[in-house]
Amino acid sequence: MTDSYTAKDITLMRQAIAQARLCTPTPTAFNVGALITDPHGRILSTGYSRQFPGNTHAEQCALQTLLTTTNSTPDYKDLVMYTTMEPCSERLSGNKPCVERILEAGIGSVVIGVKEPDNFVKCTGAQMLMEKGVRVVVIGEEVEEECRKLNAHLDDE
């Protein structure tokens, strides 16, 4: 895992945070925002938790949108996913974890706002991505408070 990020990464993460603010809070799930960019930082798709029916996660929605709206097939290994929280490695619902979806798509880099808290499961998403050769960056301190506030509704859990 690397802590090497740029001002552009922070700007794009704040756009992912804006996506997360579109979530309808629920006591059984996190509010997460995600976006996928080309290598130059041009946004290709966005997503947020529960955007689509079926208990969908932000990363899943961003990938689904990318697949349905891109006219060409980009080289996914050159794409960057920004997500306000570490992609899930396990889902209690039995749905496919976001880490698997990211690996299947072949996304080359994932920039994370904060690690997933242990509210529901012990997440190992960042580790799993790195083990498969995905570049993982955790911005952390610069956006940590903003990302955590998105899930203040779970603080009493």
Q: Please, what are the domains in the chain?
A: 7-152 (3.40.140.10)
Q: In DSSP terms, which residues pair with 36 in a beta bridge?
A: 45, 81
Share of the chain above pLDDT 70, in %: 90
Minimal CA–CA distance to 52: which of 37, 63, 36, 38?
63
In tens, the pLDDT along 47-59 reads 999 999 988 999 9
**What is the average per-residue pLDDT within 62-74?**
80
Minimal CA–CA distance to 76: which of 47, 105, 98, 51?
105
Q: Which of 59, 141, 144, 146 is catalytic?
A: 59
In tens, the pLDDT along 113-141 reads 988 766 666 777 889 999 999 999 999 78
> Is 59 an active-site residue?
yes
H or E segment and range at residue 68: helix 58-69
What pTM does this model have? 0.91
